[in-house]
Amino acid sequence: MNINIPNRRKKFLVIGSAHSVKEIKIKEKQGAEMIFLSPLFKTQKSNQFLDTIKFKLLTLNTNKKIIALGGINRKNVNKLNILNLHGFAGISYFQNNDKIKSFKR
């Protein structure tokens, strides 16, 4: 839980990963400047996912920059525009998509 933040380099970002309000609060205490929140959509690894409504409610519990992660594909990428995101990550989305749709921030 403890991170030696005062000694970090100026251009070094502390980024955390969370799946619940409890984990979001832990990342805030650890000094995370951005939080990966996942999984947003269903993935091959797990049938448990947040979906847009629960995801949006979780983002309201923090003022940190949120990055969506998990299950993002060509069919659901447009749903990202209704969420308050700083960005998104999706390995299979970028690997399998010749034309990346724009994401409005």
Sketch the domain layout of the chain as residue ranges: 13-93
Q: Where are the alpha helices (DSSP H) in the chain?
A: 21-29, 51-59, 91-95
Write out pLDDT tens, residues 75-104. Answer: 888 999 999 899 998 776 666 666 555 555
Neighbours of 98 (CB within 10 A): 5
Write out pLDDT tens, residues 25-82. Answer: 999 999 999 999 999 999 888 889 999 999 999 999 999 999 999 999 888 889 999 9
Alpha-carbon gap, residue 38 to 55, rounded angstroms:
8
Q: Is the pTM of this model over 0.85?
A: no
The second-level CATH assignment, the architecture, of 13-93 is Alpha-Beta Barrel (3.20)
